[in-house]
C-alpha cells in the first residue's frame, strides 16, 4: 500500500511543478497549438480563438511524471517490476512518440492537422498490433476473453485472435481519448478517473491471488495506474479551464494506450468500454455523425458539431459547464465499472 502512495504522490508533485516549467518553456519558444476555425465539413467551431497561443505538448510532463513516480515506488522493498508493465511502458512511449511528432509538425507548420494526420491511423493501428504481439510473445498474459477476470466468460481466443482483438482495443482507446481531448481538462480529468479505477482493480487482484491468479503481478499494475492517476491530477492544475497548456496528441495517445493496456493485463477487456464510457460516447458521436452525414449526402447531421462536447457548446452551454458535467458522466461510468468488478469480487470471495 505504501508503494501506491509513493507512486501517486511523486507523480502528482512532479507533474504539478514539471507542467509549470514545461508551460513556461513552451510559451517562451512559441510552441503553441494552432486553433481550428472550421471543421472538415466547413462548419464554424465554437469560439476558441481566445486559446490561440496556448502552449501544447503538456502530455510530456504527464508521462514523464508518471514514469518517475512508478520507478521511485520500486525503491521500497518487496515491489518488483513485471515484464508486462515494462511492455506497457514501451507501448505508451511509442504511442506518445507518434503524438509528439504530429504535435511538433502542427506547431512548426502552424496548422491544426499535422502531416501525419492521414497516416496516423494506420501507424497507430500497426503499433497497437505490435504491442499486443509483444505481450503474447514475451509474457504469460491470459488470452481468454474476459470481463472482470479471465474465467468470465473465459472464452479462449488463442494467440493470433487475441493479438487482433487486443490491437483493436488499443487502437480504439487511443483514438477515443484523443477525440475527447477537445476542451480544457476534459481528457485529463476523465483519464484520471479511469486510472483510479484500474488501481482499485489491480490492488484487489493482488490481495486475492486465489481468484485473480492469472493476472501477472497485479500490484505492479496498480502502482502503474496510481502513478498515471497522480500525474493526471498534477497536470490538471495547469490544464483546467482556462488552460495554461494543452495535453496535445503526445499525451492523449499515451494515456489512451495506458488505459487499454491496463484493461488487457488485468483481464478486464470487456469492462474497459464502461470505465472509459465517456471516451466511447465521444468517439461514438463522431462515428455516428459521419455515418449519417455520408448516408444522406451531407443533408443531415445528428449533432450540430461532433465530437459531442462541441454540440453542447453550440447549443449554448459554457465550456466549463460542459467539462464539469462530462466529468460527472465519466465518474458515473467509472463507478459502474468498478461496481461490476467489486460485485463479482465479493461473490467470488464470499463463495
Q: Domain boundaries in the chain?
A: 2-272
Work out the pLDDT band at 50, boundaries 50, 70, 90.
Answer: low
Helices 218-239 and 248-265: crossing angle in degrees, nearest 10, is 150
Look-up of cell digits 502512495: 5
* Average pLDDT for the chain: 91
- Cα–Cα distance between 75 and 56 in angstroms, integer? 33
What is the pLDDT averaged over residues 280-293? Answer: 94
According to DSSP H, which parts of 140-185 are helical?
Answer: 158-180
**pLDDT value, residue 42:** 47
**pLDDT value, residue 105:** 85
What is the pLDDT averaged over residues 250-267? Answer: 97
| Percent of all residues in the chain with a pLDDT value above 70, rounded to a whole number | 91
pTM for the structure as a whole: 0.93
Convert the pLDDT of each residue in 93-139 to its tens digit: 999 999 999 888 888 776 655 555 567 889 999 999 999 999 999 99
What is the pLDDT averaged over residues 74-88? Answer: 90
Convert the pLDDT of each residue in 154-181 to its tens digit: 999 999 999 999 999 999 999 999 999 9
What is the end-to-end Cα distance of the chain in Å, rounded?
26
257 pLDDT more than 80: yes
According to DSSP H, which parts of 296-318 are helical?
Answer: 308-314
- Cα–Cα distance between 292 and 299 in angstroms, integer? 9
User: Is the model more confident about 145 or about 105?
Assistant: 145
User: 254: which residues sit within 8 A by CB, 6+ positions away?
Assistant: 59, 62, 63, 92, 93, 95, 96, 99
**pLDDT value, residue 155:** 94
User: 160: which residues sit within 8 A by CB, 6+ positions away?
Assistant: none
| DSSP one-letter code for 243 | P
Amino acid at each position: 500500500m505504501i508503494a501506491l502512495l509513493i507512486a501517486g504522490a511523486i507523480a502528482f508533485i512532479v507533474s504539478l511543478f514539471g507542467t509549470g516549467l514545461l508551460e513556461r518553456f513552451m510559451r517562451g519558444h512559441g510552441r503553441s497549438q494552432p486553433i481550428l476555425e472550421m471543421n472538415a465539413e466547413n462548419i464554424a467551431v465554437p469560439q476558441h480563438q481566445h486559446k490561440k497561443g496556448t502552449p501544447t505538448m503538456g502530455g510530456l510532463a504527464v508521462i514523464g511524471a508518471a514514469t518517475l513516480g512508478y520507478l521511485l515506488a520500486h525503491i521500497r522493498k518487496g515491489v518488483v517490476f513485471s515484464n508486462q508493465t515494462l511492455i506497457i511502458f514501451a507501448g505508451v512511449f511509442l504511442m506518445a512518440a507518434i503524438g509528439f511528432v504530429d504535435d511538433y509538425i502542427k506547431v512548426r507548420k502552424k496548422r491544426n492537422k499535422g502531416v501525419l494526420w492521414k497516416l496516423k491511423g494506420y501507424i497507430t493501428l500497426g503499433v497497437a498490433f505490435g504491442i499486443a504481439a509483444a505481450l503474447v510473445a514475451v509474457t504469460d498474459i491470459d488470452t481468454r476473453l474476459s470481463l472482470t477476470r479471465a474465467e468470465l466468460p473465459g472464452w479462449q481466443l488463442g494467440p493470433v485472435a487475441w493479438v487482433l482483438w487486443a490491437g483493436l482495443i488499443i487502437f480504439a482507446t487511443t483514438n477515443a481519448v484523443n477525440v475527447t481531448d477537445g476542451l480544457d481538462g476534459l481528457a485529463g480529468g476523465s483519464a484520471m478517473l479511469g486510472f483510479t479505477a484500474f488501481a482499485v482493480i489491480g490492488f484487489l487482484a493482488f490481495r486475492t491471488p486465489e481468484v485473480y491468479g492469472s493476472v501477472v503481478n497485479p500490484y505492479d499494475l496498480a502502482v502503474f495506474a496510481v502513478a498515471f492517476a497522480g500525474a493526471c491530477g498534477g497536470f490538471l492544475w495547469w490544464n483546467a479551464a482556462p488552460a495554461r497548456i494543452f495535453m496535445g496528441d503526445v499525451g492523449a495517445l499515451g494515456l489512451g494506450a495506458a488505459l487499454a493496456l491496463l484493461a488487457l493485463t488485468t483481464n478486464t477487456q470487456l469492462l474497459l468500454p464502461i470505465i472509459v464510457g465517456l471516451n466511447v460516447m465521444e468517439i461514438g458521436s463522431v462515428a455516428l455523425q459521419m455515418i449519417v452525414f455520408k448516408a444522406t449526402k451531407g443533408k443531415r447531421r445528428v449533432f450540430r458539431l461532433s465530437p459531442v462536447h462541441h454540440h453542447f457548446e453550440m447549443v449554448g452551454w459554457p465550456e466549463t459547464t460542459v467539462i464539469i458535467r462530462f466529468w460527472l458522466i465519466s465518474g458515473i461510468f467509472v463507478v459502474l465499472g468498478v461496481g461490476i468488478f467489486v460485485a463479482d469480487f465479493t461473490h467470488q470471495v464470499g463463495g
